Amino acid sequence: MTDTISNETSSLTSDPNGSVQASAKSLAEGPGVEAAKDIICGSIAGGLGKVIEYPFDTVKVRLQSQPDHLPLRYSGPLDCFRQSIQAEGFAGLYRGISAPLFGAAVETSSLFFSYRIAQDILQNALTIDPKMDGSSLPLGALVTCGGASGAFTSLLLTPIELVKCQMQYPVKPSETPRPGPLLIISSVLRNHGMFGFWHGQLGTLIRETGGSAAWFGSYEGVSSLFRRNSTNHFAKETVLAKTEKAPVLPVWQQMVAGASAGVAYNFIFFPADTVKSRMQTEELGSVGGDFLKRRTFWASATALWRQQGIGGLYRGCGITVARSAPSSAVIFAMYEGLRELLG
């Protein structure tokens, strides 16, 4: 939830009351309680968002992971949908959802949790008293906090996404049974050791750091615009009722702000995600999902650029942006609603 006080933006995870009494209550509850709320609300919101977007994510990964030395298997998202449903049925688009469902819960809860922590650290660094009214961080500082939360989350997310991408990778009908998450995990450990799970970390770091800065920044910015336009309407009601609590945005405004955040997150740093997906799926063995050879981030990016140009880096971007809008809208609205419910 956002507000504009002296050209500053009230952050999503800041105390909406802005009063000494409310802040004292928050301090009494302790950071552990607030962290638990972030984890619970973020996990539920992230899981729901993943269920909505997962078929589109499967298509995105399959478009991104087409080999650069062979003719393209899919002409576009619709063709990929058609071929995938014909070969595996609609349920095939949800293949491997267990890992990303867990990953979505980890990612979203980690983002909201570390976003709050980053704000606390920055407030302390700027010697801002969180108990004072009007102490909200400016939008630029919130963007920085979003980037920091994404950098932290990338470390947790890379291993989960590696397993997810391996399970989403299309295989020939003759290549059965399909490798499950345990087989993929054992294969990575056997061939590359523990650090093999962080193959593609640079791509995830770039995507999550920049993307999360855009994600939180867009949500806070759009929400701030809604509040600014509603200030006069709510001011009279707040004064007359003498309420301590700042007005909560209507759900539809939360969803609009969330949708804009999803678009900003996915579009700006999409090439990094493309290279990451290719790194985590290229040169797969025909049995058990074993890796034959791994390339670095820059080697993979250079090979893709030479073979397919800028279009290759943005392959699957359209469908990703299209699915990210409703998904992020649901995530933010659900998170806001659950946080409001939990107090």
Per-residue pLDDT tens digits for 24-36: 444 345 667 888 9
Q: Which strand (E) or helix (H) includes residue 288?
A: none
Predicted confidence at residue 7, as pLDDT, reads 45
Amino acid at 213: A
| Prediction pTM value | 0.74
How large is the average pLDDT for residues 311-327?
87
User: Is residue 328 predicted with pLDDT exceeding 60?
Assistant: yes
Predicted confidence at residue 41, as pLDDT, reads 94
Predicted confidence at residue 33, as pLDDT, reads 86
User: Is residue 73 predicted with pLDDT exceeding 90?
Assistant: no
How large is the average pLDDT for residues 70-93?
86
Predicted confidence at residue 141, as pLDDT, reads 92
Mean pLDDT highest for which of 194-198, 230-234, 252-256, 318-322?
252-256
Alpha helix positions (H), the chain:
20-29, 31-64, 77-88, 98-125, 139-168, 181-192, 201-241, 251-268, 270-281, 297-313, 317-342
Predicted confidence at residue 239, as pLDDT, reads 33
Amino acid at 43: S
User: Is residue 51 predicted with pLDDT exceeding 80?
Assistant: yes
Report the DSSP beta bridge partners of residue 9: 4
Predicted confidence at residue 235, as pLDDT, reads 38
How large is the average pLDDT for residues 98-110?
87
* Cis peptide upstream of residue 177 (ω within 30 degrees of 0): yes
User: Is residue 284 predicted with pLDDT exceeding 80?
Assistant: no
What's the pLDDT band for 322 if we cut at 50, 70, 90? confident
Looking up tokens 């007005």 gives: 247
What's the pLDDT band for 173 if we cut at 50, 70, 90? low
DSSP reduced 3-state for 4: strand
User: Is residue 15 predicted with pLDDT exceeding 60?
Assistant: no
What's the pLDDT band for 184 if we cut at 50, 70, 90? confident
Predicted confidence at residue 1, as pLDDT, reads 45
Predicted confidence at residue 236, as pLDDT, reads 36
Contact 78, 16 (CB under 8 A): no
* 239-262 tens-digit pLDDT: 333 334 456 789 999 999 999 999
Amino acid at 61: V
User: Is residue 125 predicted with pLDDT exceeding 80?
Assistant: yes
Q: Which strand (E) or helix (H) includes residue 285?
A: none
DSSP secondary structure, 138-161, as one string: PHHHHHHHHHHHHHHHHHHHHHHH
